[in-house]
Structure 1
Amino acid sequence: MVNQEQIEFFKQNGFVQIDNIISPQELEELRGFMDEIMDSNHANSIQTDKRGGTYYRVLNQRVNTWRDHAGMARYMSHPRFSKAALQLTGAQGIRLFHDHALLKMPEDSKETPWHQDLPYWPMNENGALSIWIALDDVDESNGCMMFIPRSRQAGKLNAISLTEPQDIFEYVKGTDVENEKPVICRMKAGSCTFHDGLCFHYAYPNYSQKPRRALAIIYMPDGTTYSGKPHVLTDDLGLQADQPIRGNMFPLLARG
């Protein structure tokens, strides 16, 4: 699914768009699974906010859907996705960190502010990345993504609040990153982007009349070590600081 041009683009810019990562049949199936998991109250996946909450206006999100739904687990572990991540990173192995179903709800919707992902994750090393699969056609009207090319050269910055955001560009004033122009990734349903955990990214509000559905999966190179920083997905697992993040919650999905 990934050609050399796309690999080089990702290495240079920290993100890449790949069209038609799933077939029309897979798209319809995954939409059905997503609707099922979001309409149910399960014990193992995590709903990050309730309807009416400030965060819910940014993202109606459920984390680790694979733990409650076999269909979601099948796509979370899809070899097409993890092998693409392996190719883009050049890692020797790719492990799951988590998945999350991401809905931008209609009408009372807020933007997802410019941020990096890696500052939220309890990892010592750089190199983790996300696939973001559009389950609906996306553009500026309903919450498509934007990326800042080459922004990962800024390194790991402070985590940005998604509900009361700081201006991430204050951290890069006077650097080359400040002058980079954002790239809007309009996509047809079934297409995806990959982005590095240090790449600056943003999503528009949803001005449409329907939820904007996406599935994101976070991957990390095998051997990534635990920082010891508190995180809802790692706090009670007995992980040791500076030791590799492994185990049944973080399966190895692809090997080089």
Structure 2
Amino acid sequence: MRKDFLTTGFVKLDTLIPFSEVEKLRVLYEDLLNDKKRTEGLRSDLGGEEENKNTVEKITQIMRPSLIESKLSESMTYELALNHAKKLLGDDMELDFDMLINKAPHTNTPTPWHQDAAYWIKMPDKRSVSCWVALDNVHAENGCMWFIPKEDELLKEHRPHTKGGALHCETDTSNAQCITLDAGGCTFHDGFTLHFSRGNTTDGPRRALILNFRPKKMIEFEREQGIEHTGERKVRNNS
């Protein structure tokens, strides 16, 4: 896995957690999705802002959910993902932040092509890995991940795809790979790896838990500059 990750910028793990753990996480996940008061200030729609506030959120993002629901970080998922992150990039890797990203049924809103590093400040140590855990069976029709093998650590120019929505960049997608997963499986990807997912056109939800890891010193570097991954979504790093 380490060799493949360092070569392409992403890897797939068929099973990170057992289905019994998936079921526990789903309960916590749904409680957070349905509680707009408790998630206020951490919650947004990656699909963009709507004038009608009664509109269903297309791509619900809740940042740092374990800050308000400690049972999340107490689950085996966080420990197992951290163990893999250390094997991929070194023993100094630690959890920087977590987030929930949900695509509601029949919202059909893609997450555009982007590199996660565009959301982050520049750091002297660029090592990072995000663990994308599927809490539902994911495929092209409900929004599984697509990756383009990483060739370098160059960051493309990013801009918001829609007002208040996710960042995106222009790129050649001819080499993109569709990564399907069963619930409990995951992918690991680098911060400079281009990725995307289609909208959810199915009757069911597409629930994902994402854990981001980077060197402990780089987390301290971020916090010293006030970066806690809870604020406004914007381009922070365009070079």
Task: Give the 3-state SS of the residue equivalent to 2:99 in structure 1.
Answer: strand
Per-residue deviation at 1:39? Answer: 1.4
> Which AA in structure 1 matches 2:145?
M
Q: Describe how 1:77-92 pairs up with structure 2 within 5 A.
A: 78-89=78-89, 91-92=90-91
Q: Partner residue of 1:168?
A: 170
Per-residue deviation at 1:73? Answer: 2.2
The number of residues matched between the two structures is: 220
Q: Describe how 1:62-77 pairs up with structure 2 within 5 A.
A: 62-75=62-75
State the Cα deviation string for residues 183-217 of structure 1 (Å, max 9, x = none): 11011010000000000000011001122101001
State the Cα deviation string for residues 74-109 of structure 1 (Å, max 9, x = none): 1387221101001111x2312222111110112233
> Which AA in structure 1 matches 2:186?
C
Contact 1:85 1:94 in 2 (8 A): yes
1:109 to 2:108 alignment: yes
Q: 2, 5, 9: which is aligned to 1:14?
A: 9
Contact 2:78 2:211 in 1 (8 A): no
Contact 1:47 1:62 in 2 (8 A): yes
> Which AA in structure 1 matches 2:63?
V
Alignment TM-score, normalising by the size of structure 2: 0.81
Contact 2:158 2:169 in 1 (8 A): no
> Which AA in structure 2 matches 1:168?
E
Distance 1:115 1:179, change over 3 A: closer
Task: Give the 3-state SS of the residue equivalent to 1:163 in structure 2.
Answer: coil
CA distance in 2, matches of 1:180, 1:227: 38
Contact 1:76 1:99 in 2 (8 A): no
Q: Partner residue of 2:43?
A: 47
Q: 215, 223, 228: which is aligned to 1:221?
A: 215
Tell me how large the CA RMSD over aligned residues is.
2.9
Q: Partner residue of 2:60?
A: 60
Q: Partner residue of 2:119?
A: 120
> Which AA in structure 2 matches 1:101?
L
Q: 176, 185, 192: which is aligned to 2:179?
A: 185
> Which AA in structure 2 matches 1:26?
E
State the Cα deviation string for residues 121-155 of structure 1 (Å, max 9, x = none): 1241311221000000010110011000124x051
Q: 17, 22, 29: which is aligned to 1:34?
A: 29
Task: Give the 3-state SS of the residue equivalent to 2:140 in structure 1.
Answer: coil
CA distance in 2, matches of 1:196, 1:52: 25
CA distance in 2, matches of 1:16, 1:51: 26
Alignment TM-score, normalising by the size of structure 1: 0.76
CA distance in 2, matches of 1:155, 1:11: 15
Structure 2 residue runs of 5 or longer lacking an equivalent are 51-55, 232-239
Q: Partner residue of 1:248?
A: none
Contact 1:123 1:227 in 2 (8 A): no
CA distance in 2, matches of 1:33, 1:179: 35
CA distance in 1, matches of 2:228, 2:154: 24
Per-residue deviation at 1:234? Answer: 7.0
